[in-house]
Structures are given as C-alpha cells and as structure tokens.
Structure 1
C-alpha cells in the first residue's frame, strides 16, 4: 500500500510562532524559565533554517560553479559533460549513467537570457530551469505529458528567461518565461546509449545555445563555452550540501541575508521574513543574531535534522521512497522543498522525472550486493513513462562502486528482456547472473535508484508502485 500522509510544514511553523506565549503549552511541555526566554530563538532558528536552506544551497552551488577557474564557467554559459561518470563518482550523489548533462547558471538581472534547443530527432532530452528557491520555472516534461513532443525526443524551440521588471522585445518565436529570482540554474540532459553513442550526443550538445539577449541578437561578443565536468558544484571544501552543513548560525544566515535582495521568497512570505527579522536577519544587511549561543546552536541542530528527515508526504511502497505530485513547485511546503534540495538537488517536477530509492529488501534487511535479489515487474506494472526508465546500483553513500564488475544500468533503454508473459525480472547481485536482466552491484551495503524519465501521471499520483526487492 502506498503511503502519502500529509503533515504540512505550516503546522510546526504555527507552534513556533507562538513560542513564549500561553499557546505554547499546546505545542510542547512546560519549559523552564531559561527555555521560556530563549525557546523562541531555538524555534525560529529551526524554522528559518528549513525555510532558507534551498536558497543558501543554491547560492553556494552557484558560487562554486561560476567563474574562470578550472572546473568553472561564466554566467550564461553551459558546461558540457563529455563522458559518463567514472567508477567511484559520487558528485553529485547517485550520478546518472543514462544521460550526458549540460548545466549552467543564468544571470537575468540586466536582460533576458535565451535558450535554444535543437531538434533531437527522436532522442530523449530533458531540459529544466530552476529558480534560486529550487522551484522549476520551466521544463520539457509537460511537452511529453501533453503529447506535443516527438515520440521520445524534442522539437527545436527557443525560450527566453526574463527577470523581474524587464520590458522589451524578444526574438520572434521565443517563448517568454518569467523568473522571480535574478539567478537560475539550467540543466539539459541528453539520453546516451553508452560509450559508442557519445559522438552523437556531443553533436547535439554543440547545437544547444545559451546567450544573453544582446549576444543572441549579435550586439555583443559571445562567451566561449568550456568543456569538462558538467556538475561544476564541488569546491575545495566539498559539495555545496557539505559546505552548507558546515556553516554555523552566523555563516548560514549571513549567506541567506546576502542572497535575499536579488532572490526574494517565492511565494512571497512576510511571516517568514518576520521570523528572520526577529533573529536580526535583514535582506542585504549584516546579521545581528541574538547573543544566545546555546539557543542558536540548538535551533541550528534542529533545523539540520528536519532538513534531513523525510517529510510525511513522500510516496512510499515496498521499501521504495519517491516524490509525488508536489515536487518542483512547492508553494509553502518548506519541509518538502528543503528535503528535496538536500537529497536530490536539481530535481524536476512530476512530469520531468521520478527517482525512487530503496535501501532494504522485502524483509526489511539492508541491501548488500553479496546477496542475490530479484525485482519482478508484472506485465501491467512496468514503470509508466513517456520517455524511458532504468535501475542503477550505488554504494550506500550514493557512489558508483569501484568493486562492481561493470558500470551498467538496466532498463528499457538498453533492451531489457521480458518474460513470455510480458513481465520483466531484474536480478541484482555482484555475481553475474545468466538469467533475467542482470544489474551489477557492489559487494557491500548499497542502494538502488529507479529512474523514470518523463513519467506518466500514475507514477506520482499513488496509483502505481515499484515492486519489492526480494532476496533469493
């Protein structure tokens, strides 16, 4: 049975907003005198951490990726991955073996930025743009859902991303997309069918164009696109998530205050800004946090724990967990937004991608590649997609295992064989299987990721579920 319990973030927010008042007795047990004087600090720090986490994470990722140093690129420029991720890769976590990615950061503060996508001639392409709060402002998923894309690929199209307050003329045929934040993150993922297919993928990559309006119309010189690793998010001090996790309260809220003027909350939330003002956090100004280090530290720890805790409105079945309809456009569901940003950075909407994760078998035991498992898809329960689907095995930390005998994902993209009745079996083990569709696994504790590209509605509305992972 699929679980999809709703417990909105606003309930916790309501309790916190009455901290120190008589109503608090309904939210927690009676506090001591010291807790009464500082309890509001702890609560509002925790709530504000969850609220601001996506913006701080995105600004950290942007600062690591934008520049002229090796591994960086200027604004409004794409970095193209030239090869599939190597063995041992873990940045980003759970790297995909299905696509080559082109990513970049947009600055639309002064003028629109134009994205031109070529006709992919039937090859699956997934493109999306996220604002600085990780809301998806535009993606190609709805084109597949509406049947306006090709069989699996995209038709040529031009999109203009426009910042707040801009007025002017756009190129003929360009679709206007308004973005509420000055910066945005763009990702274009092109289906790859292995090493022999990379030349065709790179040709499509070269046909993608990102340029400010003045450059697009020939009034300014274009930037030279760099090559190399497309992620561009790992700095000297680790991934953006690791860097954010290492910040103390002053560091976190200083980053948040710096980012807010150009990237106001979406949706506008004066209540959240009031909490920040209570803590001495004003957009664009130096922070002046209360001089209560214990309360600040306790609130920060609570906030971190809440960001890392799966919210109750995740979909869950047979040990798998995945995001439902609310992903990508979060509204005031700040708990879901923060958790999604921390666990699957850059995740799209329900029409773009589903990424289901499982770490335990059907008996509740940790998955380990030294064992043999079978995932049995009934003929009428194959992953529902407009695009394609795949399963990949990773270490428990989300890396491609160096001990796996092959670097392979199993799915309909690479010709997974069906049984005579139309069902399909995936055999997961570190030891090669001569039956079924063998998925190589690390000889250690592991996790499996099932990806559905351009999923159909039943993948996120609760009417479909992945089958259990059964140990044999």
Structure 2
C-alpha cells in the first residue's frame, strides 16, 4: 500500500469519510529530478594525440567517416552554388527559379525542371496547375539527399498551392495554401513531368509555364529581399582536391544545419578542425593531420565506389535498390550520391536494372537478340506508368537514341499483346523480321543495361510479390 493509501484506509475505518491527506499536509512533496552528474558534458574540447604518428592516424580515422558522411551534402552543396550562388556559372538561375530541361536527360519519358529554395528567411509557395491526368511529382531533396514529394500520390492530381515550411516556422498561411513542412533551410526541387515524346513538346512547355515558385512574401504581394549571403562560390575543379572537400563539407553543414541524430558524429570532426560554426582552415592544421585527411579522402572514395553493388537487391537477373531516404545509412547514401544522385523514394519511382540475361551472360546488342515477355495479367503493377529503356552499362546513362523516344512502356499506345494477352518485347540491334514492329526496342551493337522504371508502384511491386521476367537470349535465326 502507498504512503497516501494508509491514512485514507485508517480514516475510513474510523468513520471519517471524505478525509483528504493532501489537505492535512501528509502527502510527501514531489521529488526533484535527479540528473546523473557523470553524464555532464565538459566545457572544453577533447585532447589530441601527442605524437605525429597518432595524430595522423586520428585524422585518418575521422576523415574516413567525414567523407562517407559528407559525400551527398558536398555534392548537393556544390550543385546549389552552381545554380544559385555563383552568378558566373553557366547553370546559374538564382533561388526560386526553375531551370527547364528542353528534353529528357535521364529518363526517356520524363522531362525535369530543377530549382533551389532558400527558406532561411521565408517559406516558399509552389503553385501546381491541374495536370489533367498527366503524371508529375515535385521531389524535394534536402542537403542530405532525403526526398519528399508533392504529387498525385501524396496530395491528389488536382491544382493546388503548397507552402514549403522550414524548421521552426510558426506564422500564418493564406487559407488556400496547404502546408508542406521540410527539415532543411535549403532544398533542391526536381519537378518531373511525364512526356509522350517529341510531338508532346508544345503542350508540355505550356503546362510547365503554369507552375509557380516564389517566396511567401512575394506570393502575398509584397517584396521579398534576400539578405542572407552564401559564402564565395567554391572551385568547381574536378576531381575535387581532398582538403577542399572537407572545407565544402563544413560550408554545407553551416548552410543546411546538422540533423539532431548526427550531432554526436559531426562533433567528433572538430578534432581535425571541421566545425559547423566556423570556417575550416586546413592551413592551420599540422602536417600530420593534413596527411591523414588526404589519405582518408582517397581511401573513403575507393571504399564508396567499391561498395556500389551492396546497395542493390538481386531479383532473378534484375536488381533494385531502396533509395531516397537514408537515416543513419551514410555509406548507402554516399554510394547513391555518386551513382544515382537524383534518386527518389521507392513509393514514387522504383527502378529495376538488368545487366545480364536470365542465364547470367552480360547483355550485348552486338552479340545477341533478346526477348522480354510479360505473362497475361503480369504487366508492371503501377498507379502511374512504367517504361523500359536501355542504358550504357559502364555509366548507367541512357543511350542517345533512348532519349529520342526509343523506349517502350504503358505510354506506348502501339504496343500489341499476343493472342494469350501477354506482351513480348524484342530487344535487338536490327528490326525483327517475325515480330510486331511496335514491340521492338532498338539496341546498340554494344554492351547495355535494360532499365525498367515504375512510377507510383502498387503494393505487389513494393512488397516483392511482383518482379520482372527474365531477359531471354534468342537463337541467331530469330
């Protein structure tokens, strides 16, 4: 029985119903919160190793983690400076302005517009027109490559106005504006619109012109004056010098902030002079520290590039990856930053890649012809659309002819099903003599990869119940 319960029970036995121990001053006072003193953080920085040997080793071990952690933030920060910070750059458009691609650049059925948002002083408003059933998504990437989307999957396909709200903002919005909170002050916006080929160019251009992006103050009719200043633009020399990488990581963290979950890791980087609250100054470091950081940079990039295959999951000759949201998976994020820097979340776009046929032999249009057959009722299950195209196996970039409309998929009105309701797609360098021409996907006379992109995949695909059929090599006579 509790201390309070005993006097209440005694009072009841004595016929004193309603007697309250609190009124009598018998309830013990609440105990003050006790905090363990041993977990108090000291008010000074950590010590450094005394010898050059261990100082270099310390910098090397921390530098490995810094490069893995910073690969995506540095790449995105450089892109932001290129488009919005360096007025001498040929890519420069400034903040809150779209740079429109005139044709597909990475995916045959998608045309992309890119913009950067600065929310350090004011939210931004994205205006979306009625898309009339055409697929689109506005994909926002923070400086850590995490993606979030405004589109039919998240908000429906009608027209709308969305306020992109930075962390901590607490003002009032116009009634017609839907709030869209984000976790970073600086954001990259990739606006992806479905295109049906070159004949769709004029209608697509008219539709893109109806999208709007402006600071909230300007949306309300006021004048938005940008007063925050970015640091001088970095050198865009490639490959990036190792010590310049660490400097840019510091600038990226100053601009984008450090997520709370990462603060312990980032705080350790102060041991070699990298802190979000001050400029990184490699000239002030000891020669041993600089040696360790340079060696760590080169080894970390080799580790990242050597881990590329680890992010993919194999599915009977095809591979796929769950990208676009990384949490604490810093190595996965670093690999994606170098291999698929525009990756979206799988709920928006799930990509399957085949580099070999069903027998494990690498795909090569100069050596073989191939057949991909979807069984009746087994086309890719999507709520958006799907497309099948070819890419260079070495780089992953699409072949030039693929960007000129040489792709097949649900947007291809001329695809012909066979007598059983299945779909056969022929992949070869020359037109097939005994097959439906509309189902021919021209291949180069060179090694290639086959890329299946699925927009707004359904649960059967997301949960692994559906997977692409194997790529079958055909005898030379066919």
Scaled to the shorter chain, the TM-score interval is 0.7 to 0.9
> Where do residues 411-426 of structure 1 align in structure 2 (5 Å cutoff)?
411-415=409-413, 416-426=415-425
> Where do residues 64-463 of structure 1 align in structure 2 (5 Å cutoff)?
64-66=82-84, 68-69=87-88, 70-85=90-105, 95-140=106-151, 142-143=153-154, 149=156, 154-220=157-223, 243=238, 246-283=239-276, 284-288=278-282, 291-292=287-288, 294-308=291-305, 309-310=307-308, 312=310, 314-324=312-322, 327-370=323-366, 371-396=368-393, 397-401=395-399, 407-415=405-413, 416-434=415-433, 435-436=435-436, 437-463=439-465
TM-score of the two chains, using structure 1 as the length reference: 0.79
> Where do residues 51-62 of structure 1 align in structure 2 (5 Å cutoff)?
51-62=69-80
Specify the SS of the correspondent of 2:206.
Answer: helix
CA contact under 8 A between 2:250 and 2:275: conserved in structure 1? Answer: yes
Shift in CA distance, 400/462, structure 1 to aligned 2, threshold 3 Å = closer
For residues 377-431 of structure 1, the C-alpha deviation after alignment (integer angstroms, 9 at most, x for no partner) is 2234321211010111122323443578974011111133222222222211111
CA contact under 8 A between 1:388 and 1:452: conserved in structure 2? Answer: yes
Specify the SS of the correspondent of 2:255.
Answer: coil
Shift in CA distance, 78/125, structure 1 to aligned 2, threshold 3 Å = same
In structure 1, how many angstroms separate the alpha carbons of the residues matched to 2:67 and 2:53? 20
TM-score of the two chains, using structure 2 as the length reference: 0.78
Structure 1 residue 268, shift from structure 2 partner? 2.8
> Unaligned regions of 5+ residues in structure 1, if any?
1-19, 22-32, 86-94, 224-234
Shift in CA distance, 177/405, structure 1 to aligned 2, threshold 3 Å = closer
CA contact under 8 A between 1:159 and 1:176: conserved in structure 2? Answer: yes
Q: Which moves more between the two structures, 186-195 or 175-184?
A: 175-184
Shift in CA distance, 97/405, structure 1 to aligned 2, threshold 3 Å = closer
CA contact under 8 A between 1:375 and 1:426: conserved in structure 2? Answer: yes
> Unaligned regions of 5+ residues in structure 2, if any?
1-47, 227-233
In structure 2, how many angstroms separate the alpha carbons of the residues matched to 1:58 and 1:142? 26
Specify the SS of the correspondent of 2:319.
Answer: strand
Shift in CA distance, 445/286, structure 1 to aligned 2, threshold 3 Å = same
For residues 315-367 of structure 1, the C-alpha deviation after alignment (integer angstroms, 9 at most, x for no partner) is 2212322223xx32211111222222222222111221112222222232322
CA contact under 8 A between 1:306 and 1:335: conserved in structure 2? Answer: no
Q: Rg bigger for which structure?
A: 2
CA contact under 8 A between 2:69 and 2:334: conserved in structure 1? Answer: yes
In structure 1, how many angstroms separate the alpha carbons of the residues matched to 2:369 and 2:376? 22
Q: Which moves more between the two structures, 111-120 or 158-167?
A: 158-167
| Total equivalences in the alignment | 406
CA contact under 8 A between 1:77 and 1:104: conserved in structure 2? Answer: yes
In structure 1, how many angstroms separate the alpha carbons of the residues matched to 2:468 and 2:57? 43
Q: Which has the bigger relative contact order, CA under 8 A and spacing at least 6?
A: 1
For residues 193-242 of structure 1, the C-alpha deviation after alignment (integer angstroms, 9 at most, x for no partner) is 1111111111110110000111111112899xxxxxxxxxxx9968xxxx
In structure 2, how many angstroms separate the alpha carbons of the residues matched to 1:310 and 1:467? 24
Shift in CA distance, 294/320, structure 1 to aligned 2, threshold 3 Å = farther
Structure 1 residue 369, shift from structure 2 partner? 1.6
- Pairwise CA RMSD of aligned residues? 2.9
CA contact under 8 A between 1:369 and 1:441: conserved in structure 2? Answer: yes
Shift in CA distance, 419/332, structure 1 to aligned 2, threshold 3 Å = same
In structure 2, how many angstroms separate the alpha carbons of the residues matched to 1:196 and 1:190? 15
Shift in CA distance, 218/439, structure 1 to aligned 2, threshold 3 Å = same
CA contact under 8 A between 1:393 and 1:446: conserved in structure 2? Answer: yes
CA contact under 8 A between 1:375 and 1:427: conserved in structure 2? Answer: yes
CA contact under 8 A between 1:385 and 1:455: conserved in structure 2? Answer: yes
In structure 2, how many angstroms separate the alpha carbons of the residues matched to 1:425 and 1:38? 60
